[in-house]
Amino acid sequence: MNPLMIDSSIHPIFKPVIVALDFADESETLHFVRQLSPDLCQLKIGKELFTATGRNLVEKLINQGFKLFLDLKYHDIPNTVAQACKVAAEMGVWLVDMHVSGGRRMMEAAANAVANYSQRPNLIGVTVLTSMEQADLIELGFSQTPEELVICWAKLAQDSGLDGVVCSAQEAASLRAKMGQEFLLVTPGIRLNVAENADDQRRIMTPQQALKAGSSYLVMGRPITQAKDPAAVLRQINHTAYDLF
Ligand SMILES: O=c1ccn([C@@H]2O[C@H](COP(=O)(O)O)[C@@H](O)[C@H]2O)c(=O)[nH]1
């Protein structure tokens, strides 16, 4: 056995999963998180849990040693998003996101707002939601394929000073080739096998496919939170990641 496997925190690629804590309250969340550890995964708080618990739980989980993705998908005028990103930076979060469709000036204002924090959060742009497919884009007036739109918005995000994007793993290979090795590709829409229930997701991949394609981090909610043994699933994915790299 390679000695690196003893500590999966040595390189982030060996714990690529960000677990989406899509729960309704703090006690349910903390009960679930007791099964995990910062050596196994990162955590994500999104709209449901943040609306229920606010900054208190974010700070509690950071104090437990977890890297925290605050997934509130900001989309507003530049000043409002910039100020929100400053508050997130003060809370010590690791990743913050905003919709690329908020435009260049919004993203530049956000990047400038956090630039001088000694430990600033990584800012990432949400491209085309993984729950969307071609028909949804047509209905919204877009003529591009999901992949074309994701590539266009990822370039704009990079040009506006963001550190990466949220996209589906189906776009990861082309984005990795175009955006370089440092650009973060954070990919939800992950299912343990393609025959698994995709729920409301449309553009899905397995952990192995996503990592091979160039994903930096895999966002996984239900496949982990509804698993009998969430830690075992995470260990398995970490071993897969280790074997791949
Ligand atoms: O395009 C996006 C952006 C964010 N998400 C979030 O990721 C998780 C996925 O949960 P699953 O249960 O694994 O489907 C969820 O918190 C979403 O808000 C996304 O799915 N797609």
Fill in the amino acid letter for 51. Answer: T
pLDDT digits (tens, 9 = 90+) for 90-126: 999 999 999 999 999 999 999 999 999 999 999 999 9
Ligand 1 atom at shortest distance from the alpha carbon of 20: 16
Residues in the chain: 245
Q: Decide: 129 in ligand 1 pocket, CB within 6 A.
A: yes
- Which pLDDT value is given to residue 194? 85
Ligand 1 contacts CB of residue 20 (under 6 A): yes
Domain-embedded: residue 244 = no
pLDDT at residue 196, rounded to an integer = 83
Domain assignment of residue 23, yes or no: yes
Report the alpha-carbon distance of residue 42 to residue 177 in Å, rounded.
25
Domain presence at residue 161: yes
95: three-class secondary structure by DSSP? strand
pLDDT at residue 3 greater than cutoff 70: no
pLDDT at 13: 61
CATH number of the domain that residue 17 is part of: 3.20.20.70
Domain presence at residue 243? no
Q: Residue 189 is encoded by which pair of tokens?
A: 């829409």
Phi-psi map region of 17: left, alpha, beta (phi>0 left; psi -120 to 50 alpha): beta
**Looking at residues 3-7, what average pLDDT do you find?**
38
> What string of H, E and C letters represents the secondary structure of 19-65?
EECCCCCHHHHHHHHCCCCCCCCEEEECHHHHHHHCHHHHHHHHHCC
Is pLDDT larger for residue 12 or for residue 15? 15
What domain range includes position 118? 3-238
User: What's the number of domains the chain is made of?
Assistant: 1
Span 51-86, pLDDT tens digits: 999 999 999 999 999 999 999 999 999 999 999 999
Q: What is the pLDDT of residue 128?
A: 98
User: Above 0.85 for ipTM, yes or no?
Assistant: yes
Query: Is residue 199 lining ligand 1, measured as CB closer than 6 Å?
Result: yes
Look at residue 104 and tell me if it is in a domain.
yes
187 marked ligand binding residue: no
Q: Enter the tokens of residue 60.
A: 């509690």
The protein residue whose alpha carbon is closest to atom 3 in ligand 1 is 129
Residue 245 falls inside a structural domain:
no
